[in-house]
Every structure is written in C-alpha cells, then in structure tokens.
C-alpha cells in the first residue's frame, strides 16, 4: 500500500529575480538591426491585436437583437462604453508608435510615403508595415519567393479543357469534380490526360500537412488591402479589371466570385512585383527578371499584360541608400512552382508604348 507524499517536505521554489529597469544609458543606446526589425514586427502585430480587441469590445455594447426585451442598465452601459474608449485610445497610440518606427525605414520614407496619394494610394502605414515587416528583401532574391510566402504562388494542377475546373489526382487517375451548376459532360467521371491541360491553382490548406505560407499575411493582403485598392481608385485596379474581364470572356471559373478572387490575387501580385523591384533597386541589390519576362519567348504571349501607370515602377531608377538596415534571417521556404497561364502575361512592347504615351502627356 502506497503512502501519500508529504507535501510539507517539498522544497519551496526559488523566487525569480526581477529584471532591473533599463538605465538611461541603455535607453539612449542605438538599436541593432535585428532589434529594429523585431520591434517593427512586434509593433505591427500589437496594433492588430489591439484592433481586434477593440472590435470585440464594441460588440459588448451593441444590442444583439431588436426583439430582446432586456437592455443594459444606463450605468452599466456607461462603464462598458468607457472601457471601449480606452481600447480606441490604445489603438491610436499603437498606430502612432508603428508609424513612427516605420518612418525610420528609408525605403518607406523615400519611396512609398511620397507616393501615397499617387501610385501607392491606399497603402498607408498599416498595410505598408505589414508588407515591409513581413518580407526579407535581402533574402528573397526573386519575387516568386515573396508570392510563395504570402500564399499567392500557384501550384501545378491539371484543368479540364472544356470547363477549366481543376481535376483531382486519385492515384494514377484524374477525377473530374462535379461542382454545383457545372454542365461539363466530363463532370463526375475519370478524365484522361489528353482531356486536360497543365495549369495551376491557388495555394490552400491541406489536411494533415503543415501550412506552406503565411495565412495571416495572405488574409491581410487579399482580404483587407485588395478591397481597399478597388475602393480608393488605385492605379493597380487596371490589373483587376483586365484580368477579370479576360477570364470572364474565356469562360474561366465556376462563378463570378471565383473570378473576383483570382483578379484580387493578380492585382496584389502586381503590386508586390513593383514594390519588390523598387525595394531591391533601392537597397542596391541585383534584380532578376520575373518568370514571365524570362520565359515569355519560349511559351509565347498569352495576352498583353495590363498596362497602367504602375507597370513602369520597376523601370524607374532610384537612389540607393547606404544606411539601409540589414534584415535578420528567416526560416527557408519551399521552392515555388509557376503557372504559365497566370504569370506569362507580360508584353514589353505594350509597356514601352505606355511609357512613351505617358511621357508625351506629361503624366
């Protein structure tokens, strides 16, 4: 028979020594590059944490149902409203701290900030901090790595030649799904490779596998920044309108929402392409051609790339800044496959013509 342990004989845990407050000399000392980028990421995430808490707190003072006969007492409502205002003040202060540190990034201060009412309209301190703090411009030597980290890089897939639906691999067979409203004669059956064509599909979570991209970053870029660019009249909307119209004309997609989401991703990818190119030039780093530019002569032109005032961003020479802070290393990402249909839409002649037209008009 076992006897219970005597808890009185247990040695007391040693109290953790409290870290002394920083001295004046430590507060005035300069940050290391690693400390700077870590603080920028932490301040960016803290702002969104407080924003989420503020939205949740506002729900506590909102009447849930007009048919509910019970309402908050005015005294309780006043106290809850005061706490909600505290979260609003905290959110404003967090945004102020974030914008202050973001202004110390030379690329943002000299390139993005001056163009906030022009080429980069809709890209304020919040979304600019998401992009600048999330990507490592020194390590990501191709824009495809940025797209892959943000979940915007297409992965290889085979689509039906008639309805363009992605066919699922089942061992050695290709199974054609049967979405609602799909009238393709191949729907619901097994199709041969000759009845499909090589294409790509968007990155999505797979059950049982580790996520290969930053889902939080993708939600901010496509779910928040994408609609903002459409509503504020960003010049990058030309990519959205042209891509969606081309896909709709070709009968691509199972619904208008499917084409809308694909066009949003296209617009965000073109924005990241220009930012990546200008950022690399600003840091005096080598800029490699994109996949479409490098292989367009081999695969042919699948339609001229949408031309607008933002497509010339990577051709503009920017003055490098010698005081740019290096980025700390990040975990490696998987190699990025490419989608010919989605990326090979680049036409140098059309862009050159657009540049000459804009110069002649003085824009």
Residue 88 shares a structural domain with residue 191: no
181 burial (CB, 10 Å; 0-12 / 13-18 / 19+) is exposed
Return the DSSP state at 263: H
* Per-residue pLDDT tens digits of the chain, which is 363 residues long: 555 555 556 666 666 777 888 888 877 888 888 999 999 999 999 999 999 999 999 988 887 777 877 888 889 999 999 999 999 999 999 999 999 999 999 999 999 988 888 889 989 899 999 999 999 999 988 998 999 999 988 777 788 877 777 887 777 778 888 777 777 887 878 887 787 887 777 777 778 888 888 999 999 999 999 999 999 889 999 999 999 999 899 887 778 998 999 999 999 999 999 999 999 999 999 988 777 777 654 443 443 344 333 343 333 333 334 344 455 444 444 433 333 333 333 334 444 444 444 444 443
Residue 223 shares a structural domain with residue 335: yes
Whether 13 maps to a domain, the answer reads no
Whether 1 maps to a domain, the answer reads no
Residue 228 shares a structural domain with residue 268: yes
Whether 298 maps to a domain, the answer reads yes
Whether 8 maps to a domain, the answer reads no
Return the DSSP state at 203: -
The torsion defined by the Cα of 213, 285, 297 and 144, in degrees rounded to 10, comes to 0
Distance CA(108)–CA(98), nearest Å, equals 13
Return the DSSP state at 343: H
Residue 171 shares a structural domain with residue 301: no
Whether 100 maps to a domain, the answer reads yes
The whole domain housing 188 covers: 155-201
Total tally of structural domains belonging to the chain: 3
Residue 225 shares a structural domain with residue 347: yes
Residue 52 shares a structural domain with residue 178: no
Residue 197 shares a structural domain with residue 237: no
Residue 225 shares a structural domain with residue 331: yes
CB 309 within 8 A of CB 363: yes
70 token code pair: 């019970």
């Amino acid at each position: 028979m076992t006897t219970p342990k005597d808890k009185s004989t247990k040695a007391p845990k040693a109290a953790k020594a409290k870290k002394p407050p920083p001295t004046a000399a430590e507060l005035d000392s300069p940050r290391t590059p690693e400390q700077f980028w870590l603080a920028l990421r932490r301040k960016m995430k803290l702002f969104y944490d407080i924003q989420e808490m503020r939205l949740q707190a506002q729900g506590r003072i909102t009447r849930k149902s007009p048919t509910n006969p019970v309402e908050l007492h005015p005294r309780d409502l006043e106290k809850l409203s005061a706490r909600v205002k505290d979260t609003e003040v905290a959110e404003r202060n967090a945004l102020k701290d974030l914008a202050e540190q973001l202004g110390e990034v030379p690329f943002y201060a000299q390139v993005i900030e001056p163009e906030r009412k022009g080429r980069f309209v809709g890209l304020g301190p919040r979304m600019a901090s998401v992009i600048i703090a999330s990507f490592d411009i020194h390590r990501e030597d191709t824009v495809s790595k940025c797209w892959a980290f943000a979940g915007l890089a297409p992965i290889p897939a085979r689509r039906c030649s008639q309805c363009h639906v992605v066919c699922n691999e089942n061992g050695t067979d290709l199974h054609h799904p049967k979405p609602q409203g799909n009238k393709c004669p191949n729907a619901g059956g097994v199709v041969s490779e000759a009845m499909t064509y090589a294409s790509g599909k968007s990155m999505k979570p797979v059950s049982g596998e580790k996520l290969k991209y930053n889902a939080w970053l993708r939600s901010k870029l496509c779910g928040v920044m994408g609609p903002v660019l459409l509503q504020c009249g960003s010049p990058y909307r030309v990519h959205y309108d042209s891509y969606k119209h081309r896909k709709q004309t070709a009968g691509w997609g199972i619904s208008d929402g499917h084409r809308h989401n694909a066009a949003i991703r296209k617009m965000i990818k073109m924005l990241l392409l220009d930012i990546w190119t200008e950022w690399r030039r600003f840091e005096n780093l080598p800029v490699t051609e994109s996949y479409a530019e490098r292989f367009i002569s081999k695969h042919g032109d699948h339609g001229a790339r949408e031309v607008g005032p933002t497509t010339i961003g990577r051709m503009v020479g920017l003055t490098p800044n010698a005081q740019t802070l290096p980025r700390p290393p990040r975990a490696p990402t998987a190699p990025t496959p490419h989608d010919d249909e989605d990326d090979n839409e680049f036409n140098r002649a059309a862009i050159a013509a657009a540049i000459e037209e804009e110069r002649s008009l003085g824009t």
